[in-house]
Every structure is written in structure tokens, then in C-alpha cells.
Structure 1
Amino acid sequence: MGYLMSRLLGLFGTTERKVIIVGLDNAGKTTILYQFVMNEVVHTSPTIGSNVEEIKWKNMHFVMWDIGGQESLRSTWATYYANTECLILVVDSTDRERLSVCKDELFSMLHQEDLSKALLLVFANKQDVKGSMSAAEISQQLNLTSIKDHSWHIQACCALSGEGLYQGLEWVMQQLKNR
């Protein structure tokens, strides 16, 4: 009976889907969150702790947690993992020097029991900046093809213009509907 009710509620878009947005500091996590909320750029300061917003889009109700990415805050990320259905990793496509740190953080997260069923969406942000790495290059550097126990997708995007963001969210929606 509970399964039937959850499926019926899902048809009407009332099921909340928990999404956490992580990445290193200055990757564009908060800018992406507020593009989804307001469809405009909001000038932000570094996130200390987290921001949480509800987003309703195409009969889906997302509760998105944007978690601060400074090195001192990364050890707290695990406190947000429970019941997460989608992990969004935001990568600064211009930050070649710290891509290995992104990779280490990603694979550490993917080994967490609370994220064992979570989808993975990687936003290759800042594609508007000259000399930025392509989504394909980031995928290769992060070794995404080695991820076999999570459904994943990488999406080139620009948080400032919103380009690519809804394509990524569309992938998440399709994956969640197919579960």
C-alpha cells in the first residue's frame, strides 16, 4: 500500500527529492542553486555551512542543499548525505590545478553508504571562460567511466547564464522517473 501511495503522489509531483550540491570553493555551487530558484545571477559570498532551497520544476519537487566547499568544511559534507537521491558535483572548468582534489573528494563521497543509491550529475561549470576544460576533458581527468555502481552524467554549463543547467536537471528527472 505504501508503495502504491508513493507512486501516486509521485504522479502529482509532491514527492520531495533530496539533492546535494558539492564542489570545491569558488566552483559556482551557490550561483547554480539560485539560477534554479530565481533564473538570475545572485551575487554571493563564500558559503559557510549550507543553503537550502525548494525547487519545483516539471512536476518534480527538489530540495537542494548547497554545501560550502572550503577545505575546512569538506569534512562536514557527510552530515548531509542521508536520504540523498542525487549528488551534484560542480567543477570549475578553469581550475586545472585542483581537479585532482575534486577527483579525490568525488571518489571518497561515492564510497559512502548514504550515497550508495544516489545519482551523480557533474556540472562542468564556467564553460564561458576562455581556456576552460571541456566536459570530455573533465570526465577523463575525473575518471568518470570507472564509476560502475552509480548512474552518472556530465553536463557542460555556465552558472551565470544558466546554459546547460536545465539539461542536467532533465537528466536527473529522467533517471528518477525510471527508478
Structure 2
Amino acid sequence: MFLVDWSSEALALLGCGRRRQTILFLGLDNSGKTTLLRMLKDERLVQHQPTQFLTSEELRVGKIKLRAFDFSGRQIARKAWPDYYAKVDAVVYLVDDCDKERFVESKRELHTLLSDEALAKVPFLVLGNKINIPHAASEDELRYHLGLTGMTTGKGKVNLTDQTVRPLEVFACSVVRKMGYGEGFKWMSQYIK
């Protein structure tokens, strides 16, 4: 893993010069969704209160517009997630790599998303956040515990000739250290239409 200057390069790849892209930031509470969104918007680390309601941010880099939706990960709030699937271009699913006791719950929510027909062709970027903390799960451990072994598409430029294959990959990251997620967004950018 290396430090990525996030500001323009990875975001520029997402826009591809076309319409505004819509990305959902999903995951259980305390996984780092709001921290990541704020880092992308302001490029600075700010301590946040847990997200109570849906928040939406417009991100602009040059001529490129992104709309990001940040949802609360609390169990009651997850019921509202499907209301936003209709016009989404990508899903970023965050997992707290250190909270191994919640891997089963996170796996259940992720597989519910993956099995939803409305998201059948949407690229999924799974970010295992907080790798800067000792005893965090590795990418391979996370892939295993989330039931994604053999389901991911690879980190390179993958030509998906089979239209039934959904772009899906796991990247370890640390939002607070600004590492790993830039690589994930670069990977995801090749699949956003």
C-alpha cells in the first residue's frame, strides 16, 4: 500500500467527462463512510458524530460532478437503502477491518445488496477500512469472512466480456492515513458507464 494523492486523478477517472456519477457509500455503522466522504470532499480529517440520516454531497473536480450518498449504517436505517438503488452508478461498501465480531453482520448486508436485482450490474468496491490499526484483517481474510473468495474480478484492468459478471473487488485501506482507497476508486472507474 502507498499513499495516494486523491484530489484530482482518481476523481477525474470516475467522471469520464460525462454526466454526474452517483455513488452510494454503504456499510455498517462505524465503518468510516462519512470520514471517507469528508476526506474526498475537503481532503482533511474531521471527527464526526455517527450518521443519523442520509447525507448527500456534490463533489466537483474540474468539469466533473459526482453525487455521493452517505447512509447511516445502523440497522433501522438500512431499510431505506433500496430507495436509492434505481440510478446508482457504483456502490462503495465499507467494512471496519478491526471489528471482526461484526464480519458476519457485514457479510449478510453485503450479500443482500449483491443479490438485489436493481444492483445487478453495478460495480461494487469493498473497502476494508482501518488497516492502520494493529490486528486488522488482511484483504484475504476480509474476502474470506465476507464470502467473496472466488467472486472478485481482480485488481488489474479486467475485460468483462461476459455481461453477467459484476465488477467486484476488495481493497484494504486506511481513510485516516489516506492510503488504499485511491487505488480502489481507480479500479472502480473503469467500470462506471
* Worse overlay, 59-68 or 117-126: 59-68
More helix by share: 1
Partner of 1:5: none
Moved over 6 A (4+): none
Q: Determine the structure 1 residue equivalent to 2:167.
A: 151
The Cα shift of 1:12 comes to 6.7
Alpha-carbon spacing, 1:105–1:12, altered in 2? closer, same or farther (3 Å): closer
Classify 1:58/1:168 alpha carbon distance in 2 versus 1 (closer, same or farther; 3 Å): farther
Which amino acid in 2 is paired with 1:152? L
Does the C-alpha gap of structure 1 residues 23 and 11 become closer, same or farther in structure 2, counting only changes over 3 Å? closer
Match in the other structure for 1:88: 92
Q: Is residue 45 from structure 1 mapped to residue 49 from structure 2 by the alignment? A: yes
Corresponding residue for residue 188 of structure 2: 172
Stretches of structure 2 lacking an aligned partner (at least 5 in a row): 1-13, 152-163
Match of 2:59 in 1: 55
Residue 119 of structure 1 corresponds to 123
SS at match of 2:149: helix
Conservation of the 8 A alpha-carbon contact between 1:86 and 1:119 = yes
The residue that corresponds to 2:69 in the other structure is 65
Give, in whole Å, the separation in 2 of the partners of 1:102 and 1:114.
20
For residues 24 and 15 of structure 2, what CA distance do their matches in structure 1 show? 23
Q: CA RMSD for the aligned pairs?
A: 2.0
**Cα shift at 1:60:** 4.6
CA distance 1:11–1:140, shift in 2 (3 Å) = closer
How many aligned positions are there? 168
Q: Which runs of 5+ in 1 are unaligned?
A: 1-9
Determine which of 15, 21, 42 is the counterpart of 1:17.
21
